Amino acid sequence: MGTVAVGALVGFLVPTISADLAPEPEIAQQRVAESPVARRFIDAFVADDQPTLAALAVSADLVNRATRFKAEYRQVDRPIHLGSWTVNGGVTLHAYSARVIDGEGVEDQLAWRVATAAGSVGIIDPPGQVTTP
């Protein structure tokens, strides 16, 4: 009985451990230059530039988010390009960050991920805020 239990345990543990220790396939990434479309979009988004957003054919949801964003902050510095990467050959992710001051005068730093693919553009929402104790 003990031999069967040890055999079952080893039969379970060996494949599990080897799967955990095996290298995971990497997502093909390549660093690229900033896209002019992504720059036009992020500048228009933080400034709530409705004509530029319409020219870029962004969704109504993004246009509304730009309007809400502009109303929430009294000052937004021009976003700084942090880097761009092509992921799996078709989508390019662009990272931006900007200093903002809200209506109460509180300064903060915001970041965005802008995705471009085949002439279309959009924002990838960041995960929920992380709080530290």
Mean residue pLDDT across the chain: 84
Tell me how many degrees the CA angle 89-118-43 measures, rounded to the nearest 5. 105
Any idea which of 10-14, 39-43, 67-71 has the lowest mean pLDDT? 10-14
Residue 80 token pair: 């700084």
What long-range pairs does 107-114 form, CB within 8 A, spacing at least 24? Answer: 111/82, 112/42, 112/45, 112/79, 114/38, 114/41, 114/42
Calculate mean pLDDT across residues 95-110.
Answer: 92
Q: Are strands 91-102 and 73-76 parallel, antiparallel or unpaired?
A: antiparallel
According to the model, what pLDDT value does residue 76 have? 93
Calculate mean pLDDT across residues 97-106.
Answer: 92
- With bands split at pLDDT 50, 70 and 90, how would you rate the model's confidence at 128? low
According to the model, what pLDDT value does residue 132 have? 42
Evaluate if residue 83 carries a pLDDT over 80.
yes
Evaluate if residue 133 carries a pLDDT over 50.
no
61-85 burial: b if 16+ Cβ within 10 Å, else e: ebbebbeebeeebeebeebebeebe
- With bands split at pLDDT 50, 70 and 90, how would you rate the model's confidence at 120? confident
Domains belonging to the chain, first-starting first, are: 26-124 (3.10.450)
Calculate mean pLDDT across residues 21-29.
Answer: 62
Distance separating alpha carbons of residues 22 and 33, to the nearest angstrom: 33
Q: Which residues pair with 32 in a beta bridge?
A: 84
Calculate mean pLDDT across residues 33-60.
Answer: 93
Evaluate if residue 24 carries a pLDDT over 80.
no
Q: Are strands 73-76 and 29-32 parallel, antiparallel or unpaired?
A: unpaired
